[in-house]
Amino acid sequence: MKIGLVQLNPIIGDFGKNCAKICEWAGRAKKEGCSLVIFPELAISGYPPQDLLERKGFLEAGEQALSDLIGDIPDLDVLLGCVERRGGERGKPLYNSAVVVRNKKIVFRARKRLLPSYDVFDETRYFEPGSPSEIYELEGHHFCVTVCEDAWRHEVKDYEVKPVADVFTTAVRKGLTIDGIINISASPFQIDKEVVRRSVFREICEKHTTPFLYCNQVGGQDSLLFDGRSLAMDRTGKIIAQAMGFEEDLVVINTSDWKGDIPGAMQVAPEAAVYDALVMGVRDYVTKCGFSSAVLGLSGGIDSALTAAIAVDALGAENVLGVALPSPYSSADSLEDAKELAANLGCNFEVIPIEDLFTGFKKSLAPLFKDKDEDLTEQNIQARIRGNLLMALSNKFGHLLLATGNKSEMAVGYCTLYGDMSGGLAVISDVPKQLVYELSHYVNRNGIKIPHRTITKAPTAELKPGQRDQDDLPPYEILDQILELHLEGGEGVEKIVDRGFEKPMVRDILRRVRLNEYKRKQAPMGLKVTTKAFGYGRRFPNVQNFQQ
């Protein structure tokens, strides 16, 4: 028997388009001779629909879409994820379900039992856990069907319920043998998560000596990036088939030959995976929001250069406008580097000097600022002039403005509200500075796109004479280590100091992180690539004074 795994890139709430894709890919699977085709978690609505699940119209539209789909799909079993309403006065009103459609009716259901409520997940807000699943049967084959988190019980230690083991217990009681474990998923990308996934799935295969089929969502959805990478493992946990990363794809597996191995499967370099994820994230966010082009400021620095390279790969060079906005403190080198970058990438390029505007601002403020020395205020005015000009271009020409700040800057507040933080999408706001350098070298792997001088020169905002980032910050290689321990590891001052870092420096960095929460709450949405990004997966109050 042939089984197809189809990783879809849905648009949340676009039931018509999502169902049309399901029908199209099911048709392809049918032509490949598949008896069963599997789609991801919540394939009809897209994941995660969040508070749309609290709208009656959304639920009704989803139910109608499923009803229409049942009548349209080809003659084979189709397993997909959908929202189902449940009865009863107690508990949550919905299930996160996997259903099998056969001969224009639903013949099997499995409801998600483990509902994550950590990091970016909030499923207990909407869904009720399902009961132990029955066994899905097709052409003499018996399958354990699970939904995403149900396969992660051994990795997430908080769960008492054992969804996979319970199905095997049912099989023993009925005298049946499970021929395969199916997991439909919407599992977001983050650095090195693929390694963890494979370890989790391999453990399941080894524990139950049973093949494993994993079908994951693909595409960008707000800040979340879904990498796809659907796969099949044999009973020993060796990968026998795999889908592409960051693209829609169909993989076909034949159950008559569960054996095999793909040496080095999924062994993609971390910087390549992150770069591909960011390109996909920009493309999907821009296009799914109804834009077709982007604009960004080009300072001649590495952050804006990397963002421009990502945007060009995502949207095409003709759809990206880079703008240099030199101030009195901008060096000639910076303008040259910005111009060279745009030429290398082939994108549109303009120069708008801001010196006259800056002079006008200072003149207007002079009566109030008399007897006051220039300080951070004047630096921020320059950044805000640039933000206003870029937003004007965005409004006038319909470009989405891309912010270019990195995670290290965002963490310590080394950024200006309504200035360089302006924009509709913060492309690299979850990329630490050291990773910015690695990604920039990756961009240049086949030839120079980002100018050599842009990568090698000392980072600077060029908002005052002779300014350098590290006049005010520790070296980025140190700053990034401390930030990772604090933001992703959850460690406080003393434990970080125990790692060999100077206590005054650690206290200062953590103080900056705490004090700049209000800035990050007003920042554009960013694309998540680390285990803990700024955004709705990280929930801290603006006003607090916990200093450990």
Could you give the C-alpha distances from 486 to 224, 412, 490, in angstroms and in order? 22, 12, 5
* 143 and 180 Cβ atoms separated by less than 8 Å: yes
Length of the chain: 548
Q: Which amino acid is present at 109?
A: R
The rounded distance, in Å, linking the Cα atoms of 264 and 432 is: 28
Pairing of the two strands 239-242 and 231-233: antiparallel
Q: Which of 107, 180, 99, 104 is nearest to 147 (CA)?
A: 99
Q: Using DSSP, state whether 316 is helix, strand or coil.
A: coil
Catalytic residues: 41, 112, 148
Q: Which of 213, 259, 203 is nearest to 79 (CA)?
A: 213
The rounded distance, in Å, linking the Cα atoms of 420 and 432 is: 17
Neighbours of 89 (CB within 10 A): 4
Q: Using DSSP, state whether 148 is helix, strand or coil.
A: helix
Q: Which of 233, 239, 240 is nearest to 209 (CA)?
A: 233
The H or E element that residue 348 is part of is strand 348-351
Q: Using DSSP, state whether 394 is helix, strand or coil.
A: helix
| Displacement of CA 372 from its chain's centroid (Å) | 45
Q: Whose structure tokens read 């060079």?
A: 317
